[in-house]
Amino acid sequence: MDASAAASATDAARGRLDLTSLPAPETLLDRLRAPLGAWLPTRRWFAHRPAGPAPQPLDVEVEAWAGLRVQADVAVLWTVLAVDDHRVGRARYQVPLALLAPDAEVAEDALVTRTDEVAVADALALPAGRDAVLALLAEGSGALGPGLRLLADPAPMVRSALAAPPTGPGASSRVLSGEQSNTSLIHEQPGRTPVILKVFRLLGDGENPDVILQSALTSAGSPHVPAVLGSAQISFGERRTHALVAQEFLPGVEDAWRTMLREAAAGRLDEAALRELGTVLARVHADLALALGTVPTGDTEARRMLAQMRGRLTDVASSVPTVAAHVEALGTLLHRAAEVPWPAMQRIHGDLHLGQVLAAPGHGWVLLDFEGEPLRPLAERLREDCPLRDVAGMLRSLDYAAAVTAREHGTDASGWAHAAREAFLDGYLTGAGIPPQDPATRVLLAAFEADKAVYEALYESRNRPDWIDIPLAALTRISGTVREG
Ligand SMILES: Nc1ncnc2c1ncn2[C@@H]1O[C@H](COP(=O)(O)OP(=O)(O)O)[C@@H](O)[C@H]1O
Ligand SMILES: O=P(O)(O)O[C@H]1O[C@H](CO)[C@@H](O[C@H]2O[C@H](CO)[C@@H](O)[C@H](O)[C@H]2O)[C@H](O)[C@H]1O
């Protein structure tokens, strides 16, 4: 045995990673393309599975990478992996990888592959990988590698939450379960603010609205979002976007979707709480308008938004045939919406529903996830929009809560839905200073509700076909009101 082979054998016996005996990172990453192509489609956040019955290995390209951290037993590489999807073109995913000794113990679900020389795992699934990511913010550091630059932007408040390094006595981290499109880490340490750090998976090109809007609200002192503790930006090739964001974690709180399902099932309604939710949304809109500005909605803008709604209606009607029955009545509604004055446009939440709302002690209602509708292109989600879109989103969600309750318990929850929607709307209109029966607002709300229900019909047909009747019933109701005049 030569000297370097002997050193590797000793390192392996100690569980040490002998980095010097590994091939250069670009060679290693090139060899990982096939295992990554088999592993990526098994991840919940991976949205570009190839069509066809059996999952096939994908052709994955390592587009950029940087070394984040090297320790005795683990090295963390930050990678951007690209896959070509014939429907949407090239998609890029952010995948921090951990390199470990070949015999290192790694949970099956975290393991990408194991060879004679190295074990490769999802870094966020390992405590050491999570510490490396948390340290980025705690230290305000970054990473630099071929084609990739990563830089943290910690807010001053981060010091109340993360020590540098973030591994002091009693500190622990875990991955939040149940997420779909991103991966969030929870970090807790006695005496410090708990942190939720969200690593975005699918990377766009441009600012992430979730980071921009919640940072603006935090700077404005709003208690209605979890305080933003910092973020990091990534650039690769010609692209630059947010890589991650950290916020105060509010432990043990239930989202409003669960609360409303329970209330609706018991036939109970806390009207004051729903009115307050409306008031909070009006306050959040006012804070966003002040921080990020407003734009008057001229005829051109109103027509552009209505044309988008018409386009969505036509597209969805062609792939979800049951929507086609509503095209004529909704067309009439959109004509009416073109005739009324519109409120000013501004940055909004963009995909507000009860699952994005928490009731947190000391904060009241808290809104999450300002990324906008996941099916909309990023460029559109970064534009000013009509605040009534958020109001309509919440009205739809209350309708969903009633419909799901009716299905699960065989009851009639339509009275609950009506009262809940009216209480929320009353809180919003009062908070925003809009007269309760303002005819223009009622027409616009019906148009935005219909547009959301059309979006939902597509969303349900792709994700939960059993639930498609819920948005269809809303379209029937709205079309009926339009026909009545
Ligand atoms: N700051 C927070 N405090 C407590 N729970 C949170 C916080 N942020 C997110 N969550 C929980 O995580 C879930 C997913 O968060 P979200 O921001 O909607 O992620 P995604 O973009 O993956 O949908 C939320 O529905 C909520 O239950
Ligand atoms: O939470 P996301 O940003 O991923 O939003 C998507 O998924 C939502 C489903 O969880 C979907 O919301 C629809 O279902 C909700 C009940 O599960 C309901 O409360 C909403 O009103 C309804 O739109 C959302 O549309 C979609 O973008």
Ligand 1 atom with the shortest distance to the CA of 253: 4
The residues, any chain, with a CB within 8 Å of residue 101's CB and separated by 6 or more, are: 11, 12, 15, 16, 17, 18, 73, 118, 119
Give yes or no for residue 142 CB within 6 A of ligand 1.
no
Q: Which residues pair with 60 in a beta bridge?
A: 83
Helix (H, G, I), strand (E, B) or coil at 381: helix
Give yes or no for residue 179 CB within 6 A of ligand 1.
yes
From 349, 353, 371, the mutation candidate for ligand 2 (largest count of ligand atoms within 8 A of CB) is 353
Angle at 337 between CA 336 and CA 338, to 5 degrees: 90
Give yes or no for residue 247 CB within 6 A of ligand 1.
yes
Strands (E), 135-182: 142-145, 148-154, 172-175
Instruction: For residue 410, give the amino acid letter.
Output: G
* pLDDT number for residue 67: 97
Neighbouring C-beta atoms of residue 174, cutoff 10 Å? 13
Give yes or no for residue 374 CB within 6 A of ligand 2.
yes
**Banded pLDDT at 202 (limits 50, 70, 90):** very high
Q: Closest residue (by CA) to atom 24 of ligand 1? A: 356
**Banded pLDDT at 278 (limits 50, 70, 90):** very high
Query: What Å distances lie between residue 237 and 91, 92, 97, 151, CA to CA?
Result: 14, 12, 20, 15
Please compute, for residue 381, the number of CA atoms within 13 A of its CA located in the half-sphere on the CB side. Answer: 23
Ligand having the closest approach to the CA of 261: 2
Q: Closest residue (by CA) to atom 25 of ligand 2? A: 456
Q: Is the C-alpha dihedral spanning 199, 203, 204, 205 positive or negative?
A: positive
Percentage of residues in the chain with pLDDT exceeding 70?
96
* pLDDT number for residue 126: 97
Please answer whether residues 77 and 99 qualify as being in contact, where contact means their C-beta atoms are separated by less than 8 angstroms. Answer: yes
Percentage of residues in the chain with pLDDT exceeding 90?
87
Give yes or no for residue 218 CB within 6 A of ligand 1.
no
Give yes or no for residue 400 CB within 6 A of ligand 2.
yes
**pLDDT tens per residue, range 96-119:** 999 999 999 999 999 999 999 999
**Banded pLDDT at 14 (limits 50, 70, 90):** low
Strands (E), 279-375: 294-295, 345-346, 357-360, 364-367
Gap from CA of 396 to ligand 2 centroid (Å): 10
Gap from CA of 179 to ligand 1 centroid (Å): 8
What whole-number distance in Å separates Cα of residue 122 and Cα of residue 111? 6
DSSP, res 364? E
* pLDDT number for residue 178: 81
pTM over 0.80: yes
Ligand having the closest approach to the CA of 178: 1
* pLDDT number for residue 179: 72
What whole-number distance in Å separates Cα of residue 399 and Cα of residue 421? 8
Ligand 1 atom with the shortest distance to the CA of 251: 4
Gap from CA of 368 to ligand 1 centroid (Å): 6
Residue 180 has pLDDT above 90, yes or no: no
Please compute, for residue 359, the number of CA atoms within 13 A of its CA located in the half-sphere on the CB side. Answer: 11
Angle between helices 469-484 and 439-463 (to 10 degrees): 150
* pLDDT number for residue 5: 52
Average pLDDT over residues 370-383: 89
Give yes or no for residue 421 CB within 6 A of ligand 2.
no
Query: What Å distances lie between residue 443 and 340, 361, 439, 440, CA to CA?
Result: 8, 36, 6, 5
Residue 91 has pLDDT above 90, yes or no: yes
Task: Return the CA Rg of the chain.
Answer: 25
**pLDDT tens per residue, range 451-481:** 999 999 999 999 899 999 999 999 999 999 9
Gap from CA of 353 to ligand 2 centroid (Å): 6
Residue 177 has pLDDT above 90, yes or no: no
Gap from CA of 195 to ligand 2 centroid (Å): 25
Give yes or no for residue 250 CB within 6 A of ligand 1.
yes
Give yes or no for residue 456 CB within 6 A of ligand 2.
yes
Gap from CA of 320 to ligand 1 centroid (Å): 30
Gap from CA of 396 to ligand 1 centroid (Å): 20
Residue 4 has pLDDT above 60, yes or no: no
Residue 229 has pLDDT above 80, yes or no: yes
ipTM of the complex: 0.93
CA dihedral 197, 394, 275, 212 (to 10 degrees): 40
Please answer whether residues 93 and 202 qualify as being in contact, where contact means their C-beta atoms are separated by less than 8 angstroms. Answer: yes
* pLDDT number for residue 1: 46
Helix (H, G, I), strand (E, B) or coil at 375: coil
* pLDDT number for residue 55: 56
Gap from CA of 74 to ligand 2 centroid (Å): 38
Average pLDDT over residues 121-138: 97
Residue 56 has pLDDT above 80, yes or no: no
In the chain, how many H helices and how many E strands? 14, 17
**Banded pLDDT at 52 (limits 50, 70, 90):** low
What whole-number distance in Å separates Cα of residue 195 and Cα of residue 172? 11
**pLDDT tens per residue, range 393-451:** 999 999 999 999 999 999 999 999 999 999 999 999 999 999 999 999 999 999 999 99
The residues, any chain, with a CB within 8 Å of residue 438's CB and separated by 6 or more, are: 429
What whole-number distance in Å separates Cα of residue 310 and Cα of residue 323? 13
- Mean pLDDT computed over every residue of the chain: 93
Give yes or no for residue 374 CB within 6 A of ligand 1.
no
